[in-house]
Structure 1
Amino acid sequence: MCNEKFHVENDPPGEQLTVNHCAVAGTIATGNGHSQLQEFSASLNLPIMTTKTYKACHVKLQMHWEKVSVESMNQAAAKERELALSENRVDKNGIPIIDVVVDGCWSKRTYKKNYSALSGAAAIIGRKTGEVLFLGVKNKYCAICAQAENRKQEPKTHECYKNYSGPSTAMDQKFSSKVLGVPLTCIT
């Protein structure tokens, strides 16, 4: 109507995210996956993203989010360290003492019975800043490994996320003691 022509580029140069990456990020943020993105694209009469493209975008986003998360956690830890030093809260070796809040959770949890979650998560938050110092996930299950085991075969080469064995109820303790590497003093 305005007789103007606009050029829209869906793959800009540099580190910017493409339209495909943004679509995958939005899909993940809403708790959906590739099949839901396909349905949504079809309803808008947009070309449907292939599984291969979706996975490639997902991997790139995962690496980017992990990098940003680590940078953010390192900055938060530096703030907590500086606050402890400014208050002269150090041990006999000059190591800053910081207060943290640690909590963990696991899925498929019921009360008084059936603590059989296959994965759990934990976070360590600096008490002074309220910022995340550590975030971790423990998994007792890998679909690729389980399928190979059922077929009595060696699993194909894959990125295995199984990093925990033991009772689900111990996931909290494993995070706090193993990750920090120091004994925690709990105040209740």
Structure 2
Amino acid sequence: MVSTLWFKCNERDMFFKLRSEEPSNKSKLRKSMVWATTCSGSSYTKTKEILAFCDIPFMPSTTFTSDEREMDIVLEDAKDASLDKAVEEEKAAYLEEIRSNGAVVNDEQPIKLEVSLDASWGSRSYGTRFTSASGAGVIVGEKTKKILFVACRNKRCSICTREQRKGKTEGKTSPKSHKCYRNYSGASGGMEPDIMIEGCVKLFKNSVWLTKITTDGDSTTVSRIKNHVKYGPTIEHQLCCNHVLKNCGKKLRELKCPKDVKEIVSNNIGRITLGIRSAIKHCAEKTKGADVQNLYKDIRNAPFHVFGQHQNCRNYFYSKRSTVVKQPMRNIEDSSITNRTMVDGQLNDEELKQIDEVCHVEQLIKSGVWSKIQAIVNAVAAKAESLKYNKTSNM
């Protein structure tokens, strides 16, 4: 990418040399082109073709590969430095919170952090089922929302595969010397636990314990972490509320309902998930996750509340920011019931009677849908212990 231009002065018969890049930059332009090609998802061949149309000469492929290797080392060092800095910031935020509460910090004790973790690998569900041979995972701090650890797993190496094919045809037994990126063998579903165990071990060396972990529902990962780290029994597993409610709503929408109740159910699915979310938020904010028993009851009661049966509803079911109750029930002519200001947050017996007149529970029971709705909601209620803090893994 560096060009040297010679200019001749006809009057004085002198030559002048100009370069497209200063020698002191040490091929900065060339390496910038390699970096831009890699980050844009392009390749050496594509970049060479684009520059050829502009009549600009491009570097040889060997130079391009050599610069890629150099940048790989630089990026790896930069990544490690960034992760170490993020860990120190997370520890500082945790210690600041402890000191602000008046507690004494023991420097000899490990720092106990709350984190969210997740991993991903590509898959194809249509046609022939396919699972990607590569995956990545991250651990994110709860206080700073910064990445504390990141790693990749690869089941294949393109150079090894190519050399193995050549070996079969040309009789070679070993591949040429190269940096092999294959670092995992096994099912793709095992990549996430493997990455997270590595992250926990690395953080443990920095005197960091992960005592509260939020995931999207993969209990296998947390159970393997508990078995592989020294402080495993102290780890508390919390589920991502967004994922749990998303799956709940998906299952409710997939229900096959008779025509006479199909509209009633479909119009209230959002209210069911919203009611569950409100119960979780109430437990997290008002009781700091201590009232799990009532959270379990409130989640199970959500369908009853939505479809008009309020005998087991607690006071906060009717309280809103303006403390006004708005029940979108049909066939209620008295608006003073549906839009009245609550004094004590509880409907009286007379009002409950009038609301019960439009209760859809009996209709749903007769149609056979009610038991299916309860089964889906009860499955969420069974996870109340892991939902009590209203944690999410979405940053």
**TM-score, normalisation: structure 1:** 0.83
- What amino acid is aligned across from residue 46 of structure 1 in structure 2? I
Native 8 Å contact 1:142 1:160 kept in 2: yes
Native 8 Å contact 1:12 1:18 kept in 2: no
Mapping of residues 1-188 of structure 1, within 5 Å: 9-13=20-24, 18-88=28-98, 94-107=109-122, 109-111=123-125, 114=129, 116-150=131-165, 151-152=167-168, 153-181=173-201, 182=229, 183=232, 185-188=236-239
Indicate the SS of the match to 2:238. Answer: coil
Whole-Å separation in 2 of the counterparts to 1:101 and 1:72: 18
Whole-Å separation in 1 of the counterparts to 2:191 and 2:130: 11
- What amino acid is aligned across from residue 83 of structure 1 in structure 2? A
Residue identity over aligned pairs, in percent, reads: 26
Whole-Å separation in 2 of the counterparts to 1:41 and 1:139: 33
- What amino acid is aligned across from residue 181 of structure 2 in structure 1? Y
Query: Following TM superposition, by how much is the alpha carbon of 1:88 offset from its aligned partner in structure 2, in angstroms?
Result: 2.9
Displaced runs of 4+ in structure 1, greater than 6 A?
none
Indicate the SS of the match to 1:171. Answer: helix
Native 8 Å contact 1:138 1:171 kept in 2: yes
Whole-Å separation in 1 of the counterparts to 2:69 and 2:236: 38
Whole-Å separation in 2 of the counterparts to 1:121 and 1:54: 26
Native 8 Å contact 2:120 2:137 kept in 1: yes
Query: Following TM superposition, by how much is the alpha carbon of 1:63 offset from its aligned partner in structure 2, in angstroms?
Result: 1.5
Whole-Å separation in 1 of the counterparts to 2:65 and 2:182: 20
Native 8 Å contact 1:116 1:167 kept in 2: no
Residues 60, 149 of structure 1: alpha-carbon distance in 2 compared, 3 angstrom cutoff: closer
- What amino acid is aligned across from residue 157 of structure 2 in structure 1? C
Whole-Å separation in 2 of the counterparts to 1:185 and 1:33: 45
Whole-Å separation in 1 of the counterparts to 2:200 and 2:23: 41
Indicate the SS of the match to 1:186. Answer: strand
Query: Following TM superposition, by how much is the alpha carbon of 1:115 offset from its aligned partner in structure 2, in angstroms?
Result: 5.2
Query: Following TM superposition, by how much is the alpha carbon of 1:10 offset from its aligned partner in structure 2, in angstroms?
Result: 2.1
Query: Following TM superposition, by how much is the alpha carbon of 1:41 offset from its aligned partner in structure 2, in angstroms?
Result: 1.3
Two-structure CA RMSD over aligned residues (Å): 2.8
- What amino acid is aligned across from residue 148 of structure 2 in structure 1? L
Query: Following TM superposition, by how much is the alpha carbon of 1:132 offset from its aligned partner in structure 2, in angstroms?
Result: 1.5
Q: Deviations over 1:102-158 (max 9, x none)?
A: 111113x13598352111111112121121211111010112322343425222222
Residues 47, 147 of structure 1: alpha-carbon distance in 2 compared, 3 angstrom cutoff: closer
Indicate the SS of the match to 1:98. Answer: strand
Indicate the SS of the match to 2:112. Answer: coil
Whole-Å separation in 2 of the counterparts to 1:31 and 1:137: 18
Whole-Å separation in 1 of the counterparts to 2:78 and 2:62: 24
Indicate the SS of the match to 2:131. Answer: coil
Is 75-84 or 178-187 further displaced after alignment? 178-187
Indicate the SS of the match to 2:117. Answer: strand
Query: Following TM superposition, by how much is the alpha carbon of 1:58 offset from its aligned partner in structure 2, in angstroms?
Result: 1.1
How many residue pairs get matched?
182
Query: Following TM superposition, by how much is the alpha carbon of 1:46 offset from its aligned partner in structure 2, in angstroms?
Result: 0.8
**TM-score, normalisation: structure 2:** 0.42
